[in-house]
């Protein structure tokens, strides 16, 4: 079930909300939790019920391993405890590798050894990357003695809670478990409902109005058109850059909004990432909960920055290559991770020189690096990536708007063509206007979390009736737009 | 308490917006699906697949002309006078039987229908297509179910919402002024009308897409006949069976279900050129066509409310002057067909079908396509007149 579907917005969400609080009102706390788990699994199974046994087995296995780890006393043999943790992590990774990376592995074996092993062609169970990482974190924390003993129902709710199940935010048991057990969260809280509805509306708008509009041009440029002119190539890459942000942050907003209806506060996942002035700053703002996971459970255990510069650089590269391959089984994802790892190494080297860069230049370099790196992230294969990238720098294939012929006609001597600028990917002026609009929206305005959640939490009385009317219009506009949109699925559902 | 108010304001505003939005759409109703127009009464949208729903829902009639472009120029007033009843013309250009069945089903359920004038186009008799690809079924079929609420879908798209929010009075927003007698008739359009009168008028309109297509179809067919590459497939028997099933599902089913409705089926009298191409080149299609006609005629024995008319044996079919392209004839022939039906001329029955098809086949097989091909070639390539050798 998609957040941006009528069935979710007008049936699943309100029905789940009312039954959950009704059960709580009747003091049937365990039943309410059980109901929320059931609803979440129903939500998950809506796509394909064959995935259900996989997630259930994963939950049961990790709960058992986590319980053993958290029950082991301080004095328990460290070796035994570590062995259990390793067993747990390895099985989680094997599950992920089997479903997500088997074919990638076989393809590479076939390529290197010139063999013809048949691909398994497994369907990737939805959300497997997310719930696997979330549970690995749980196991590590249990090993470290940072988890309390929770019952199976609470644990199941922690993993399956529908707003964050499919594409994050990757939540930490510490920030979730206590919320599920707090008594005051069992009663309807109108402030949270108002905030939840508002932020859900923003997320829906981001997804269906903005991301899905850019999706059309990005898809045309990457997947359909064989050759692009310079402006089309830039429009294609920027369209994807904006699509990805509005799609994923829209999803995160909807997840945060839906969770707030149940008095659960999910961690923010985006904080205006395209305003970042360096790559480190970007990763503090982009997919924050994944960055946190990579830092706490990969980078730091590898040694972080405590073992000298060379080791730090290696750790950064390793962490980001793992981050890249987490997103998808393909060399383009590995390369994307490597690029980001290298950028972070370069950033550290630059920092060590103690030079301060002009902010505008810093933003320009950072944004363009991110935009170019997304080309590898998006492209279905190397050829598509090279097609877009080479066109972005092909100064022999420049097409300018016909409207500029009078003023810049002399440039035709240098091979510049005056025609429909983005003829192949969509209506030229529309594409360019939307790209300019997206830049303005992202660089000048506050993001949805700053605008609503933070400001309201600091001043609970800041919400007004006008807010309600404004967001209702935004919500209904998005609903209307939704019915006309052809793109529906969230990009991160594939990861 | 204040935040409770805010939540309710959000919900109430959303509900008000929904009600307001749908109320405005209801009033606007450019396809006249919900009510007879309160303004722009003479306006209809061009796309009859969508527009027919409004006509069916809100106009007065007891008989219907449901053809393709072949019957678009048939006057409903004239049909009413000559055949009795009160006709409306909701012919869908280029439609398959399958598409028209969606409308037929809805129409027959809506109210008692006395007569249905229906064209049995070759495309329906020789193809079991479910959609022609241009007009996606899903984009309009919901207008013909029993759920009136989903009809709003027709307006929730860029076209109509832009019209609505910009308060545009453009033609595309309200449709164009039409003569309800034959809303989508094309016989008065200059680019169509000038092509009647003979081959020279086709030549004068050689840039017209229909003429271009016609010339290329004629010349290609001749070339293929010359090379002996006659189109004949080995699955003819299976294809004929498939056509029979298709006819059963999309036509006979309704004939059986509505015995009080008279179904008047006409075999469009395309020009002999078209029939000759089928007979001489698209042989399997031609055989399938004849088999389907036989099948329908055999059904007319069983169902008294089914009448099938054909005039493919008449000489007016041989006269190119009556046609603007190989298929479409002058509106006078539409008029003549109504007269013929009223006096039961051309009614095909099990007693005359063999004779009819023999004459029809012989005339089509003996038509001199090569002569026509030479004329076209000579016109298109005046410097190098090319003679296509005869049979």
Show which of residues 403-462 on chain A sit within 8 Å of chain B, judged by CB atoms. 461
> Residue B219: helix, strand or coil by DSSP?
helix
pLDDT at position B190 is: 84
pLDDT at position A428 is: 63
**Contacts (Cβ under 8 Å, ≥6 apart) of B368:** B390
One digit per residue, the tens of pLDDT, for chain A of length 495 reads 788 888 999 999 999 999 999 999 888 888 999 999 999 999 989 888 888 999 999 999 999 998 888 776 665 567 678 888 899 999 999 998 898 888 888 988 988 888 888 888 887 788 888 889 889 988 988 888 887 767 888 889 989 999 988 877 888 888 888 888 888 888 888 888 988 999 999 999 999 999 988 988 888 888 887 777 888 889 999 999 999 999 989 999 999 999 999 999 998 888 889 999 999 999 999 999 989 888 988 888 888 888 888 888 889 999 999 999 888 888 999 999 999 999 999 999 998 888 888 889 999 999 999 999 999 998 888 888 888 888 888 877 777 777 777 777 777 777 777 777 666 666 667 788 899 999 998 888 887 777 666 555 556 567 788 888 888 998 988 888 887 766 566 666 655
What is the chain A residue with the closest CA to B20?
A476
Judged by a CB distance cut-off of 8 A, whether residue B10 touches chain A is yes
pLDDT at position B391 is: 43
Q: Which residues on chain B are in Cβ contact (under 8 Å) with A465?
A: 5-6, 9
Query: What whole-number distance in Å separates Cα of residue A223 and Cα of residue A213?
Result: 16
Number of domains in chain B: 1
pLDDT at position B113 is: 95
> Residue B26: helix, strand or coil by DSSP?
helix
What is the chain B residue with the closest CA to A485?
B157
CB of A424 closer than 8 Å to CB of A228: yes
Show which of residues 27-66 on chain A sit within 8 Å of chain B, judged by CB atoms. none
The closest of B139, B184, B246, B199 to B44, measured between CA atoms, is B184
Q: Which two three-digit tokens encode residue A417? A: 């063509």
Judged by a CB distance cut-off of 8 A, whether residue B20 touches chain A is no
pLDDT greater than 70 at residue B218: yes
- Which of B3, B4, B16 to substitute to test the interface with A, most A CBs within 10 Å? B3
Residue B239: which domain range? 186-391
Q: Which two three-digit tokens encode residue A14? A: 């309100």
**Contacts (Cβ under 8 Å, ≥6 apart) of B252:** B299, B303
Go through chain A and tell me how many residues it has. Answer: 495
Judged by a CB distance cut-off of 8 A, whether residue A284 touches chain B is no
Confidence of residue B139 (pLDDT cuts 50, 70, 90): confident
CB of A204 closer than 8 Å to CB of A475: yes
Asked whether the beta carbons of residue B7 and residue A468 sit closer than 8 angstroms, the reply is yes
Asked whether the beta carbons of residue A465 and residue B6 sit closer than 8 angstroms, the reply is yes
pLDDT greater than 60 at residue B378: yes
Given A172, A327, A340, A424, the catalytic residue: A327
Query: What whole-number distance in Å separates Cα of residue B295 and Cα of residue B300?
Result: 9
Q: Which residues on chain A are in Cβ contact (under 8 Å) with B158?
A: 484
Q: Indicate whether B204 belongs to any domain.
A: yes
pLDDT at position A461 is: 63
- C-alpha of B387 from chain center: 37
What would the pLDDT profile of A427-465 be if each residue is shown by its tens digit?
A: 667 788 899 999 998 888 887 777 666 555 556 567 788
Q: Interior CA angle at A323 toward A210 and A131, to 5°?
A: 80
Query: What whole-number distance in Å separates Cα of residue B93 and Cα of residue B141?
Result: 16
Q: Indicate whether B107 belongs to any domain.
A: no
Asked whether the beta carbons of residue B5 and residue A465 sit closer than 8 angstroms, the reply is yes
pLDDT at position B318 is: 92
pLDDT at position B273 is: 93
Containing A417, the helix (H) or strand (E) segment is strand A417-419
Q: Indicate whether B36 belongs to any domain.
A: no
Asked whether the beta carbons of residue B9 and residue A480 sit closer than 8 angstroms, the reply is no
pLDDT greater than 50 at residue B321: yes
pLDDT at position A489 is: 63
CB of A315 closer than 8 Å to CB of A304: yes
Q: Give the 3-state secondary structure of B244-258.
A: HHHHHHHHHHHHHHC
pLDDT greater than 70 at residue B340: yes
What is the chain B residue with the closest CA to A473?
B14
Asked whether the beta carbons of residue A473 and residue B4 sit closer than 8 angstroms, the reply is no
What is the chain B residue with the closest CA to A471?
B10
What would the pLDDT profile of A99-157 be if each residue is shown by its tens digit?
A: 888 888 898 898 888 888 888 888 778 888 888 988 998 898 888 888 776 788 888 99
Query: What whole-number distance in Å separates Cα of residue B117 and Cα of residue B84?
Result: 12
Judged by a CB distance cut-off of 8 A, whether residue B362 touches chain A is no
pLDDT at position A36 is: 93
Judged by a CB distance cut-off of 8 A, whether residue B13 touches chain A is yes
What would the pLDDT profile of B28-46 be if each residue is shown by its tens digit?
A: 888 889 998 887 678 888 8
Q: Indicate whether B14 belongs to any domain.
A: no
What is the chain B residue with the closest CA to A193?
B7
Q: Which residues on chain A are in Cβ contact (under 8 Å) with B3?
A: 190-191, 193-194, 463
- Compute and round to an integer the Cα radius of gyration of chain B: 24
Q: Indicate whether B301 belongs to any domain.
A: yes
Q: Indicate whether B170 belongs to any domain.
A: no
What is the chain A residue with the closest CA to B9?
A468
Show which of residues 354-413 on chain A sit within 8 Å of chain B, judged by CB atoms. none
Query: What whole-number distance in Å separates Cα of residue A408 and Cα of residue A410?
Result: 5
pLDDT greater than 90 at residue B171: no
Query: What whole-number distance in Å separates Cα of residue A351 and Cα of residue A328?
Result: 31
State the residue for tokens 């469009």: B268
The closest of A449, A378, A363, A330 to A214, measured between CA atoms, is A378
Asked whether the beta carbons of residue B156 and residue A197 sit closer than 8 angstroms, the reply is no
What is the chain B residue with the closest CA to A475?
B14
The mean per-residue pLDDT over the stretch B257-286 comes to: 93
Judged by a CB distance cut-off of 8 A, whether residue A472 touches chain B is yes
Distance in Å, alpha carbon of A428 to nearest chain B alpha carbon: 18
| Crossing angle for the helix pair B283-302 and B272-280, to the nearest 10 degrees | 110
The closest of A277, A450, A468 to A359, measured between CA atoms, is A277
**Contacts (Cβ under 8 Å, ≥6 apart) of B250:** B97, B98, B100, B101, B104, B124
Containing A475, the helix (H) or strand (E) segment is helix A465-482
What is the chain A residue with the closest CA to B8?
A468
What would the pLDDT profile of B58-101 be if each residue is shown by its tens digit?
A: 999 999 999 999 999 999 999 999 999 999 999 999 889 999 99
pLDDT at position A182 is: 85
**Pairing mode, strands B176-177 and B43-44:** antiparallel
Q: Which residues on chain A are in Cβ contact (under 8 Å) with B157?
A: 484
pLDDT at position B390 is: 44
The DSSP line for B99-139 is: HHHHHHHHHHHHS--SEEEEE--HHHHH---S--SSS-GGG
DSSP assignment, residue B323? B
Show which of residues 119-178 on chain B sit within 8 Å of chain A, judged by CB atoms. 153, 156-158, 161
**Contacts (Cβ under 8 Å, ≥6 apart) of A183:** none
What would the pLDDT profile of B114-136 be if each residue is shown by its tens digit?
A: 999 999 999 888 887 765 555 67
Global pTM value: 0.75
Active site residue A347: no
The mean per-residue pLDDT over the stretch B356-372 comes to: 92
Q: Which residues on chain B are in Cβ contact (under 8 Å) with A193?
A: 3, 7
Confidence of residue B257 (pLDDT cuts 50, 70, 90): very high
E-strand spans in A216-325? none
| Chain A to chain B Cβ contacts (< 8 Å) | 55
pLDDT at position A453 is: 61
pLDDT at position A6 is: 87
Judged by a CB distance cut-off of 8 A, whether residue A310 touches chain B is no
Query: What whole-number distance in Å separates Cα of residue B199 and Cα of residue B218?
Result: 13
pLDDT at position B131 is: 56
Q: Which two three-digit tokens encode residue A320? A: 């980001």
Q: Nearest 10 degrees: CA dihedral of A56, A60, A63, A66?
A: -120
Q: Indicate whether B274 belongs to any domain.
A: yes
Q: Which two three-digit tokens encode residue A324? A: 């890249």
Confidence of residue B57 (pLDDT cuts 50, 70, 90): very high
Option in B3, B17, B157 nearest A463 (CB)? B3
- Which of A6, A469, A474, A479 to substitute to test the interface with B, most B CBs within 10 Å? A469
Judged by a CB distance cut-off of 8 A, whether residue B216 touches chain A is no
Asked whether the beta carbons of residue A476 and residue B161 sit closer than 8 angstroms, the reply is no
Q: Interior CA angle at A293 toward A313 and A127, to 5°?
A: 125
**Contacts (Cβ under 8 Å, ≥6 apart) of A388:** A221, A222, A228, A233, A236, A237, A375, A379
Judged by a CB distance cut-off of 8 A, whether residue B4 touches chain A is yes
Option in A461, A472, A484 nearest B10 (CB)? A472
Q: Which two three-digit tokens encode residue B290? A: 């004849």
Mean residue pLDDT of chain B comes to 88
How many Cβ atoms from other residues are within 10 Å of residue B357's Cβ?
A: 20
Q: Indicate whether B268 belongs to any domain.
A: yes
Helices (H) and strands (E) in chain B, counts: 17, 7
Asked whether the beta carbons of residue B17 and residue A473 sit closer than 8 angstroms, the reply is yes
DSSP assignment, residue A226? S
**Contacts (Cβ under 8 Å, ≥6 apart) of B101:** B249, B250, B251, B254
> Residue A176: helix, strand or coil by DSSP?
helix
Containing A322, the helix (H) or strand (E) segment is helix A309-327
H-assigned helices in chain B = 2-28, 48-58, 76-83, 97-110, 122-126, 158-165, 171-174, 190-193, 199-204, 209-226, 236-247, 253-257, 272-280, 283-302, 331-342, 353-366, 369-380
How many Cβ atoms from other residues are within 10 Å of residue B14's Cβ?
A: 20
pLDDT at position A97 is: 87
Query: What whole-number distance in Å separates Cα of residue B91 and Cα of residue B67?
Result: 4
First to last CA, chain A: 16
pLDDT at position B251 is: 94
């Amino acid at each position: 079930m998609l957040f941006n579907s009528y069935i979710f917005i007008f049936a699943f969400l309100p029905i789940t909300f009312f039954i959950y609080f009704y059960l709580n009102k009747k003091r049937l706390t365990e039943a309410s939790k059980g109901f929320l788990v059931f609803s979440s699994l129903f939500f998950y199974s809506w796509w394909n019920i064959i995935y259900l046994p996989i997630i259930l087995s994963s939950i049961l296995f990790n709960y058992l391993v986590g319980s053993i780890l958290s029950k082991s006393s301080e004095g328990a043999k460290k070796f035994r405890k570590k062995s259990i943790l390793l067993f747990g992590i390895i099985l989680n990774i094997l599950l992920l590798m089997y479903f997500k990376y088997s074919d990638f592995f076989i393809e590479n074996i076939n390529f290197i050894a010139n063999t013809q092993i048949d691909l398994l062609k497994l369907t990737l169970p939805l959300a497997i990357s997310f719930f696997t990482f979330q549970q690995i974190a749980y196991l590590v924390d249990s090993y470290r003695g940072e988890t309390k003993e929770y019952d199976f129902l609470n644990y199941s709710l922690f993993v399956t809670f529908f707003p964050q199940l499919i594409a994050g935010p990757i939540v930490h048991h510490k920030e979730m478990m206590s919320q599920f057990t707090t008594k005051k969260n069992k009663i309807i809280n109108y402030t949270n409902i108002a905030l939840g509805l508002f932020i859900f509306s923003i997320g829906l708008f981001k997804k269906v109005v903005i991301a899905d509009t850019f999706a059309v041009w990005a898809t045309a440029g990457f997947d359909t058109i064989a050759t692009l002119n310079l402006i089309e190539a830039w429009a294609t890459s920027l369209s994807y850059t904006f699509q990805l942000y509005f799609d994923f942050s829209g999803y995160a907003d909807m997840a945060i909004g839906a969770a707030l209806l149940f008095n659960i506060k999910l961690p923010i996942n985006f904080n205006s990432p395209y305003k970042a002035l360096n790559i480190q700053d970007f990763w503090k703002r982009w997919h924050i909960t994944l960055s946190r996971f990579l830092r706490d459970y990969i980078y730091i255990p590898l040694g972080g920055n405590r073992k000298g510069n060379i080791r730090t650089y290696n750790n950064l590269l390793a962490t980001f290559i793992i981050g890249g391959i987490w997103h998808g089984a393909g060399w383009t994802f590995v390369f994307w991770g490597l690029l980001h790892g290298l950028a972070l190494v370069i950033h550290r080297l630059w920092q060590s020189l103690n030079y301060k860069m002009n902010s505008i230049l810093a933003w320009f370099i950072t944004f363009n690096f991110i935009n170019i790196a997304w080309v590898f992230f998006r492209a279905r294969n190397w050829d598509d990536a090279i097609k877009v990238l080479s066109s972005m720098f092909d100064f022999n294939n420049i097409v300018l708007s016909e409207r500029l012929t009078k003023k810049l006609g002399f440039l035709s001597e240098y091979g510049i063509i005056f025609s429909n600028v983005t003829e192949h990917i969509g209506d030229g002026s529309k594409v360019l206007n939307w790209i300019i609009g997206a830049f303005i929206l992202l660089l000048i305005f506050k993001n949805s979390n700053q605008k609503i959640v933070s400001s309201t939490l600091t001043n609970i009385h800041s919400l007004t009736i006008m807010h309600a009317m404004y967001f209702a219009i935004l919500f209904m506009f998005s609903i209307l737009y939704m019915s006309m949109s052809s793109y529906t699925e969230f990009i991160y559902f594939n990861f | 308490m204040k935040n409770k108010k805010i939540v309710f304001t959000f919900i109430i505003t959303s509900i008000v917006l929904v009600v307001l939005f749908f109320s405005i759409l209801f009033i606007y109703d450019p396809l006249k699906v919900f009510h007879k127009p309160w303004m722009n009464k003479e306006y209809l949208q061009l796309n009859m697949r969508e527009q027919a729903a409004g006509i069916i829902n809100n106009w007065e009639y007891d008989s219907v002309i449901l053809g393709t472009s072949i019957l678009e120029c048939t006057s409903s007033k004239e049909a009413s006078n000559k055949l009795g009843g009160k006709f409306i013309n909701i012919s869908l250009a280029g439609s398959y039987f399958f598409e028209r069945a969606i409308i037929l089903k809805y129409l027959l359920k809506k109210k008692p229908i006395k007569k249905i004038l229906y064209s049995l186009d070759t495309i329906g008799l020789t193809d079991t297509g479910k959609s022609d690809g241009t007009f996606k079924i899903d984009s309009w079929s919901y207008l013909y179910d029993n759920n009136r609420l989903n009809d709003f879908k027709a307006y929730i798209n860029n076209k109509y919402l832009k019209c609505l929010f910009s308060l545009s009075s453009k033609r595309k927003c309200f449709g164009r002024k039409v003569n309800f007698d034959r809303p989508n008739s094309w016989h008065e359009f200059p680019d169509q009308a000038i092509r009647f009168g003979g081959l020279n008028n086709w030549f004068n309109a050689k840039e017209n897409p229909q003429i271009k297509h016609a010339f290329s179809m004629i010349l290609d067919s001749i070339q293929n006949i010359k090379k002996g590459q006659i189109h004949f497939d080995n699955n003819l028997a299976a294809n004929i069976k498939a056509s029979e099933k298709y006819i059963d599902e999309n036509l006979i089913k309704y004939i059986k279900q509505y015995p009080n409705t008279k179904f008047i089926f006409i075999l469009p009298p395309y020009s002999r050129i078209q029939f000759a191409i089928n007979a001489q080149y698209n042989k399997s299609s031609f055989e399938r066509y004849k088999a389907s006609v036989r099948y329908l005629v055999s059904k007319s024995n069983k169902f008294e409310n089914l009448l099938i008319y054909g005039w493919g044996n008449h000489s007016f079919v041989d006269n190119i002057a009556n046609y603007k392209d190989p298929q479409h004839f002058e509106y006078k022939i539409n008029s003549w067909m109504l007269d013929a039906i009223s006096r039961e001329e051309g009614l095909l029955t099990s007693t005359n079908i063999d004779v009819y098809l023999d004459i029809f086949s012989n005339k089509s097989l003996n038509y001199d396509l090569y002569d026509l091909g030479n004329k076209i070639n000579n016109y298109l390539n005046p410097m190098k007149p090319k003679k296509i050798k005869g049979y």
